[in-house]
């Protein structure tokens, strides 16, 4: 069914299950080790052999020889597949760099061979017997060197102007012009990319770890040259995705090829060191922000230029993404440039664009506030754009409550105690500071389908290829189905992640929660109508509560319907294109910086979020605090160090790539304004999974400045940079 006008009052406004904090259904399974991850599916493939992937030792050039004989003859080895014997495979519209290279090497740790053996240890030992010779090509790996010549992204379309930025900036009595650097970053999810592949004739099944089941099926069909209908993907439990599992990766492709060669199921987990250079990452950015304002703090000129790079020269990290949405200003210019940079493939990582963009733009706002001698909360409120989108006046915001987020946050955080002048508050050796940032992340909505089935004995089963990457999809889908069918939560069973089920939105771009629940609602409505037809009432207007149905003054039991099933899909009408759908937040942070060593501790964090109806405050909070941790990591610790001679990320393991640990993260508070958005879907809900990484790191950076008086514009803000 099509959602073709803003939702009026509906059953979710009187919800009893949706909107209530509900522990995650998969929580006990995951925390007790009883949720099987892809690599642990002993039930489906007890005879699986083990695959080990070999990555290229050079970043660019070609393989001149590869000797695999010793590996083939090693104990336990069943098959060896090696790049020289194959054409490169593994490019599709969903991924750019080849997932299993031929002789040409496009990036470091590109998969060049796979050894299959009876045991993991035998596969690993044999892989080390492969001798590969290379002809290495020199290349430029330094973004700063490549940036000045980088072309505009999107075939030249990535330049947006409104009014006359140059003239307004020149004329502005108060202005700032600052350049920021964000490094390459990695997903570093707990569960590595992993797949068990099994062939039955021409039919291929993959038990894998993937956010977007249908994309995966389509991509694999293209990569392997077989019809997607012959492929089944199953991914019921996922130990983190963050964008790194949006697309099929080498584990899936090589498990499929190796399984064919070995003539038995093969399981492959990407070794942790391969994840950093073999998969995708968030590309580094260089961002120049220029802001001009009147003396009383009205912004008149907004300029934001962004440079990044990617192996393809396309799809870099667009740090300007939030800039058209956040603050007023009649004269504007954003430009996004992408260089061709032969590092491993850059691709979506949690809030691609905005996560890096806020680290520049929301710090520039802090710099402007200081230049104006104005409170940075007040500056943001003063430049609230109202209903019209500053960068695109043809659209208006559906719901946008950034000012409320900032006001409520300032009140709760005790912002009035902040000293405007930096370096003023000291507790012994600690310099104390507070920072604020605004936050924006788009709220896209995608069509999504589901099937629902009444078992006849009181259970409702929901089936959709939606995934739960640790976000709580199982739970919000169960809540939605329970609410719509008038059943208690424990009468609903949710089955996810199997490509045999109806095609959902999948998990990406923080659209999963809003989109997949709307699809399940659509399927439930189809079922309600079918039940009504069978029992003689109007399924739309009947009251479904507690397993009973009241309609036309009569009462039925849901069980009277017997066994029934229905499929439904929610799609979206053109009316939405008049609106800009987004989520907003006010982020606050207090830090302490050791005056002698520069050691930085975060003391408190608060995020106040405007993200539509919150379907499950408990799992939504969990999403936001996780994202705040990731944003703190981006501000203070995370960086893939580029070896500029040999073109790879040096710190390719969890010891060298520093994500925050418990000791780095103190008290975190999350507040949801529960602002309903009737334009987005019948549930009036939006996602929060990416909003939480848009801005908290900027609040950290601004707090560090407030504590120390040192403005570090190169992330991560490590202590050496205070000097």
d(CA 626, CA 646): 34
d(CA 635, CA 697): 5
Minimum separation from the CB atom of position 521 to ligand MOS (A):
22
Residue 507 near residue 477 (C-beta atoms within 8 A): no
Which residue number, 126 or 630, has a Cβ lying nearer to ligand MOS?
630
Which residue number, 146 or 469, has a Cβ lying nearer to ligand MOS?
469
Q: Which residue reads 């849901």 in tokens?
A: 558
508 to 527, contacts with ligand MOS by CB under 6 A?
508-509
| Residue 149 backbone phi and psi in degrees, to 5 | -95, 0
- Cβ neighbours of residue 324 closer than 8 Å, sequence gap 6 or more: 160, 332, 334, 389, 390, 391, 392
Minimum separation from the CB atom of position 212 to ligand MOS (A):
9
- Rule CB under 6 A: is residue 357 a binding residue for ligand MOS? no
Q: How far is CA 331 from the centre of its chain?
A: 31
d(CA 450, CA 325): 33
DSSP state of 662: G
Which position among 74, 196, 348, 531 is part of the footprint of ligand MOS (CB under 6 A)?
Answer: 348
Residues with catalytic function? 690
Report the residue number whose CB is nearest to ligand MOS: 243
Encoded one letter per residue, x for contact with ligand MOS by CB under 6 A and - for no contact, window 202-231 reads ---------x--------------------
The residue count for binding ligand MOS (CB under 6 A) is 11
Which position among 206, 246, 443, 449 is part of the footprint of ligand MOS (CB under 6 A)?
Answer: 246
Which residue number, 433 or 697, has a Cβ lying nearer to ligand MOS?
697
d(CA 479, CA 685): 13
d(CA 397, CA 393): 10
DSSP per position, 290-343:
EEEE-TTS-EEEEEEEEEEEETTSSS---TTTTHHHHS--SEEEEEEEEEE--S
Residue 334 near residue 320 (C-beta atoms within 8 A): yes
Task: Tell me which stretch binds ligand MOS (CB under 6 A): 5-13, 348-356, 420-428, 654-662.
Answer: 348-356
Encoded one letter per residue, x for contact with ligand MOS by CB under 6 A and - for no contact, window 169-208 reads ----------------------------------------
- Rule CB under 6 A: is residue 568 a binding residue for ligand MOS? no
Minimum separation from the CB atom of position 498 to ligand MOS (A):
20
Residue 59 near residue 105 (C-beta atoms within 8 A): yes
Encoded one letter per residue, x for contact with ligand MOS by CB under 6 A and - for no contact, window 10-29 reads --------------------
- Rule CB under 6 A: is residue 316 a binding residue for ligand MOS? no
104 to 133, contacts with ligand MOS by CB under 6 A?
none
Minimum separation from the CB atom of position 609 to ligand MOS (A):
18
Reported in sequence order, the residue ranges of 174-327 that DSSP labels E, i.e. its strands, are: 174-182, 194-200, 203-208, 231-234, 266-269, 285-293, 299-310
- Rule CB under 6 A: is residue 352 a binding residue for ligand MOS? yes
Minimum separation from the CB atom of position 285 to ligand MOS (A):
15
Task: Tell me which stretch binds ligand MOS (CB under 6 A): 49-57, 78-86, 242-250, 556-564.
Answer: 242-250
What's the residue count for the chain?
723
Does a cis peptide bond (omega within 30 degrees of 0) precede residue 69?
no
d(CA 116, CA 121): 10
Which residue number, 66 or 238, has a Cβ lying nearer to ligand MOS?
238
Which residue number, 278 or 507, has a Cβ lying nearer to ligand MOS?
507
- Rule CB under 6 A: is residue 350 a binding residue for ligand MOS? yes
Minimum separation from the CB atom of position 508 to ligand MOS (A):
3
Burial class (CB in 10 A: 0-12, 13-18, 19+), 392: middle
Minimum separation from the CB atom of position 687 to ligand MOS (A):
10
Q: Which positions touch ligand MOS (CB under 6 A)?
A: 211, 241-243, 246, 348-350, 352, 508-509
């Amino acid at each position: 069914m099509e959602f073709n006008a803003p939702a009026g009052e509906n059953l979710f406004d009187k919800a009893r299950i949706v909107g209530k904090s509900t522990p995650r259904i998969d929580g006990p399974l995951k925390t007790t080790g009883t949720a099987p991850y892809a690599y642990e599916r002993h039930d489906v493939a007890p005879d699986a052999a083990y695959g080990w992937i070999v990555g290229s030792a050079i970043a660019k050039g070609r393989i001149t020889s590869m000797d695999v004989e010793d590996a083939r003859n090693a104990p336990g080895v069943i098959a060896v597949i090696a790049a020289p014997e194959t054409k490169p495979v593994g490019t599709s519209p969903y991924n750019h760099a080849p997932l299993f290279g031929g002789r040409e090497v496009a990036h470091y740790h590109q998969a060049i061979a796979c050894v299959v053996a009876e045991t993991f240890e035998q596969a690993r030992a044999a892989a080390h017997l492969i001798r590969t010779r290379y002809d290495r090509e020199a290349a430029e790996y330094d973004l700063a060197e490549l940036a000045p010549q980088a072309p505009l992204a999107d075939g030249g379309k990535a330049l947006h102007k409104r009014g006359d930025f140059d003239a307004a900036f020149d004329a502005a009595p108060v202005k700032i012009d600052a350049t920021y650097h964000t490094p390459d970053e990695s997903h570093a999810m707990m569960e590595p990319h992993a797949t068990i592949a099994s062939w039955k004739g021409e039919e291929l099944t993959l038990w894998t770890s993937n956010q977007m089941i249908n994309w995966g099926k389509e991509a694999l069909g293209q990569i392997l040259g077989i019809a997607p209908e012959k492929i089944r993907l199953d991914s019921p439990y996922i130990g983190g995705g963050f964008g790194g599992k949006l697309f099929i990766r080498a584990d899936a492709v090589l498990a499929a090829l190796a399984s064919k060669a070995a003539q038995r199921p093969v399981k492959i987990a990407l070794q942790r060191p391969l994840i950093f250079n073999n998969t995708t990452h968030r590309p580094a950015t260089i961002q120049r922000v220029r802001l001009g304002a009147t003396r009383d703090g009205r912004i008149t000129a907004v300029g934001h230029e962004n440079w990044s790079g990617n192996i393809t020269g396309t799809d870099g990290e667009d740090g300007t993404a939030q800039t058209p949405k956040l603050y007023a200003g009649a004269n504007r210019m954003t430009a996004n440039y992408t260089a061709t940079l032969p590092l491993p493939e850059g691709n979506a990582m949690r809030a691609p664009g905005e996560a890096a963009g806020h680290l520049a733009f929301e710090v520039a706002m802090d710099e402007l506030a200081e230049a104006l001698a104005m409170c940075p909360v007040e500056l943001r409120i003063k430049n609230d754009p109202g209903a019209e989108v500053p960068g695109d006046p043809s659209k208006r915001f559906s719901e946008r409550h950034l000012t409320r987020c900032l006001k409520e946050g300032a009140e709760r955080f005790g912002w009035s105690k902040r000293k405007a002048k930096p370096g003023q508050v000291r507790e012994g050796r600690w310099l104390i500071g507070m920072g604020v940032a605004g936050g924006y992340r788009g709220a896209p909505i995608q069509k999504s389908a589901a099937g629902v089935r009444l078992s006849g004995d009181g259970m409702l089963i929901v089936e959709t290829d939606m995934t739960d990457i640790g976000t709580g999809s199982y739970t919000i889908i169960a809540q939605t189905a329970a609410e719509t069918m008038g059943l208690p939560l424990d009468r609903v069973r949710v089955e996810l992640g199997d490509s045999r089920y109806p095609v959902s939105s999948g998990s990406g771009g923080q659209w999963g929660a809003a989109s997949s629940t709307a699809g399940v609602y659509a399927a439930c409505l189809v079922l309600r109508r079918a039940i009504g037809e069978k029992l003689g009432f109007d399924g739309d207007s009947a009251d479904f509560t507690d397993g009973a149905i009241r309609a036309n003054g009569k009462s039925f039991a849901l069980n009277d319907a017997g066994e029934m099933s229905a499929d439904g899909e929610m799609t979206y009408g053109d009316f939405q294109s008049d609106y800009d759908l987004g989520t907003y937040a006010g982020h606050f942070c207090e830090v302490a910086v050791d005056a002698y060593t520069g050691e930085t501790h975060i003391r408190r964090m608060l995020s106040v979020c405007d993200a539509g109806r919150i379907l499950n405050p408990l799992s939504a909070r969990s999403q936001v605090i996780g994202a705040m941790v990731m944003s703190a990591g981006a501000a203070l610790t995370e960086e893939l160090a580029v070896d500029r001679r040999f073109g790879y990320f040096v710190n390719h393991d969890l010891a060298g790539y520093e994500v925050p640990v418990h000791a780095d993260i103190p008290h975190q508070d999350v507040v949801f304004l529960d602002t309903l958005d009737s334009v987005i879907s019948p549930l009036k809900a939006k996602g929060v999974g990416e909003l939480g990484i848009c801005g908290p790191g900027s609040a950290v950076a601004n707090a560090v400045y407030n504590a120390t008086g040192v403005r570090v514009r190169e992330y991560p803000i490590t202590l050496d940079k205070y000097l």
